[in-house]
Structure 1
Amino acid sequence: MDEFHKIRRLPPYVFEHVNRLKASARAAGADIIDLGMGNPDLPTPEHIVEKLVETVRKPRTNRYSASKGIPGLRRAQAAYYDRRFGVKLDPETQVVATLGSKEGFANMAQAITAPGDVVLVPNPSYPIHAFGFLMAGGVIRSIPSEPGPDFFHALERAIHHSTPKPIAVILCYPSNPTACVADIEFYRDVVAFARQHEIFVLSDLAYSEIYFTDTPPPSLLQVPGAMDIAVEFTSMSKTYSMPGWRMGFAVGNERLISALARVKSYLDYGAFTPIQVAAAAALNGPQDCVAEFRETYRKRRDAMVDAFARAGWEIPAPEASMFAWAPLPERFREIGSLEFSKLLVEKADVAVAPGIGFGEHGEGYVRIAMVENEQRIRQAARNVRRFLETAGETLHNVVPISARG
């Protein structure tokens, strides 16, 4: 039987290959160290949990909530942007609470995309950046992930050679999966380009609070004029270790925010009210926990870079995010990132995310998530070291990507 039209437009989910192997190995009793999914393992801070429990016990908080977010939560997000970035937002017209940034991106795509519309998406990139628009009937044109001259050359080519002209460009810094960062000068150039060519900018700032440099990552909306053409998405998943709570935000241009809010009003009633109240408490309350999480990820990063180097695998130290973007060890480059990731599960009891799952230009890399403690990360490195030392015995039956049909 033929696949449904929208399902046909989606490529096979590459990560599922590794997930199946991981589940099979665990069922057989293997202790898999899972560095694949960016699923924070740190506990949600106690004061946030206490606010959830307090609120859920109150009468009537079990009723339908507000699709765009309760007023107190939208005010809290506006206050965060003012404190952190010096950006003034109107909570009524420029802030929408989303069920995580992933849902926000997908529904923004539904709101603004007509069939055949061209959207410029970094490659490699977090999958929803492309697939949200594919599901909405759009056409994806790839641009480089790293900020720099090649990025702007690709924008110029896309403007002159795409028919119809692109409607939007996606940004994601600190980047998932590459962990590269952008500065305010880069954002100024993007805003100037977008205003000149009348295209929207959708910025994913989910990792704004996980950084290891002296200068925190900026917001696109700090650039004068950005509010005319841009919306930015943030998430509480990583900042406050609340991934399963599904709480994020879209903020910025009133027309785009209004379109997103209207689409959402047909699809959901918003997150459970106690979750929204607790999220507001997180944004308004003490921020020591955010600094503590940042330091934990810094220590994990340092442990990973050191331990994997000792194992014979040099991994560049990321400046931000909870990921490392690691080039395949030289002798494995011919087999590709998916086969290498499968070998790591089978031979080293370590799961990582194959770079090809983030786009064709992710080939040759794997993404390693820092979602285990330092002891487990060092154990993963020891497992990898044993695998690399015996790799010649395991490669003879793996088909190189260059030899596949």
Structure 2
Amino acid sequence: CEAALQTATPPVDGYPPFDVHRDLREAIAERYAADHGVAIDPEREVAVLPGTKTGIMLACLAAAERGDAVALPDPGYPDYLSGAALAGARVLPLPLDAGAGFQPDLGALGEDPALLVLNYPSNPTSACERPGTLEAAVARAQARGGWVLHDLAYGFLAFDGRRARSVLEADGARDVALELWSPSKVCGMAGWRVGFAVGAPELVARVQLLLDHGAAGVWTGIQRGLAAALRGPQDDVAERREVYRRRRDVLVGALTAAGAPPAPAEGSFYVWWRLPEGLTAERILAEARVGVAPGEGFGARGRGWARLSLALPEADLEEAAVRLQDLVSRYLPVHG
């Protein structure tokens, strides 16, 4: 915040460069080298975005023509559907099954998509990628054409010793893959509306072209604030991860004690819960006064599931856990 406030005076309180300041590009490259061992070209492989939600739309527009197929995780973040729709693309559901650890079944795709979207740690399933998942997606794109988009919005939130990997760590990814990175969660900068895309120079250039015609850059104060966050001490990142791990343990422990354990919560700040037969989000709200997101909102394969958020004060989360445990403990003996 200090870095941003220090710039909130003329002459920098005007239009920023459309392609952003080089200092931020270099800070992004430095962060990727430190976190992922990947050498990013700050000039050709970085596009700074007014939020990565915008980046999803731009990536779809840049990678797919009207009528092309876009493969989206099912269940997955609903805004992927919005990006595909705005591009006029057809959606190919990419099945993520609990029995496979919510890893993509690439063999289930009936055709080769113009864009294949992955998201690990996953919203809503909270799964992390398994060894070979990102490599398989990149290899398919190399062999059969198309692009890969990896949404790394929750990259710092991998629990129990796991490390969320960048798709750019996979051999050949620099030619076929684009990755979205958001400071909203890792840096607590959700209201700043800034993020970035890194990866294949051709796709980065297409995204940058769309930005040039659809936006006037990101304010210099925000750019400098993000650069400072990327270069500064990362102790608070580990602290934030530990907060969410504790919250996860409280919620998972309550559901497990009630006899309805959720899917393994490996990352992100969500818990993905298969609802006991007949129990619905509406009934949970009515009887326990706890709001959960109905799984069908994340795709056909989310039916019968619910997404629970860890992004609330711990006292509220603990109360929600108590209420859910009580409801399920009373429900299962009668309906289980």
TM-score, normalising length: structure 2 = 0.92
Does structure 2 retain, via aligned residues, the 8 Å contact 1:237–1:243?
yes
Equivalent in the alignment of 1:214: 161
1:341-382: per-residue Cα shift (whole Å, max 9, x none)?
Answer: 233333322111111111111111111110123322120122
Give structure 1 stretches of 5+ with no counterpart: 1-48, 160-165, 333-339, 396-405
- 1-side partners of 2:273 and 2:53: how far apart? 24
Residue of 21, 25, 39 corresponding to 1:70: 21
For residues 66-93 of structure 1, what are the alpha-carbon distances to aligned partners after superposition, in whole Å with 9 as ceiling and x for unaligned? 3333221111111111111111111111
Looking at CA atoms only, which structure, 1 or 2, has the larger radius of gyration? 1
The number of residue pairs the alignment matches comes to: 330
Where does 1:176-191 land on structure 2 (aligned, <5 Å)? 176-191=123-138
Q: How has the CA–CA distance of structure 1 residues 329 and 87 changed in structure 2, closer, same or farther, with 3 Å as cutoff?
A: same
In structure 2, the residue matched to 1:257 is: 204
Asked if structure 2 preserves the Cα contact closer than 8 Å seen for 1:355 and 1:362, the reply is yes
For residue 272 of structure 2, give the secondary structure of its aligned residue in structure 1. Answer: strand
Alpha-carbon offset, residue 189 of structure 1: 1.9
In structure 1, the residue matched to 2:38 is 87
Give the whole-Å Cα distance in 2 for the aligned partners of 1:188 and 1:385. 40
Note closer, same or farther for the CA distance 1:293–1:215 as it changes in structure 2 (3 Å cut). Answer: same
Q: Distance in 1 between matches of 2:5 and 2:163?
A: 33
**For the aligned residues, what is the CA RMSD?**
2.1
In the TM superposition, what are the counterparts of 1:187-336 in structure 2 within 5 Å? 187-332=134-279
Higher relative contact order (CA 8 A, sep 6+): 1
- TM-score, L = length of structure 1: 0.77
Q: Which residue of 1 aligns with 2:7?
A: 55
Matching residue of 2:90: 139
What is the one-letter code of the residue matched to 1:69? Answer: V
Q: Deviations over 1:197-228 (max 9, x none)?
A: 01111111111111113231111111121111
Q: C-alpha displacement at 1:55, in angstroms?
A: 2.2
Q: Which amino acid aligns with 2:297?
A: G
Deviation at 1:290, TM superposition (A): 0.4
Work out the CA distance in 2 between the residues paired with 1:239 and 1:192.
Answer: 29
Do 1:303 and 1:374's aligned partners in 2 also have CA atoms closer than 8 Å? no
1:67–1:105 Cα change, 3 Å: farther
Out of 83, 103, 117, the position equivalent to 1:170 is: 117
Measured after TM superposition, the shift of residue 331 of structure 1 is: 3.5
Uncovered stretches (5+) of structure 2, i.e. residues with no partner: none
Task: Tell me, in whole angstroms, the C-alpha distance in 2 between the residues paired with 1:278 and 1:229.
Answer: 30
The corresponding residue for 1:375 is 315
Q: Contact conserved, 2:60 with 2:115, CA < 8 A, in 1? A: no
Give the one of 281, 303, 311 matched to 1:363: 303
Q: Distance in 1 between matches of 2:221 and 2:104?
A: 46
Partner of residue 345 from structure 1, selected from 266, 285, 304:
285
Instruction: Give the distance between the partners of 1:228 and 1:265, measured in 2 at CA.
Output: 23
Match of residue 106, structure 2, among 152, 162, 178 = 152
- Seen in structure 2, the aligned counterparts of structure 1 residues 386 and 187 have a Cα distance that, compared at 3 Å, is closer
Distance change in 2, residues 1:150/1:185 (3 Å) = closer
The residue type paired with residue 3 of structure 2 is K
Q: Which amino acid aligns with 1:364?
A: G
Point out 4+ residue stretches in structure 1 off by more than 6 angstroms.
Answer: 147-150
**Range with greater deviation from structure 2 (381-390 or 89-98):** 381-390
Query: 2:89 & 2:199 partners in 1: Cα distance?
Result: 22
Q: What SS does the corresponding residue of 2:38 show, helix, strand or coil? A: coil
Deviates more, 1:282-291 or 1:370-379: 370-379
| Structure 2 CA distance for aligned equivalents of residues 292 and 386 of structure 1 | 31
Quick check: 1:184–1:218 contact (8 Å CA) kept in 2?
no
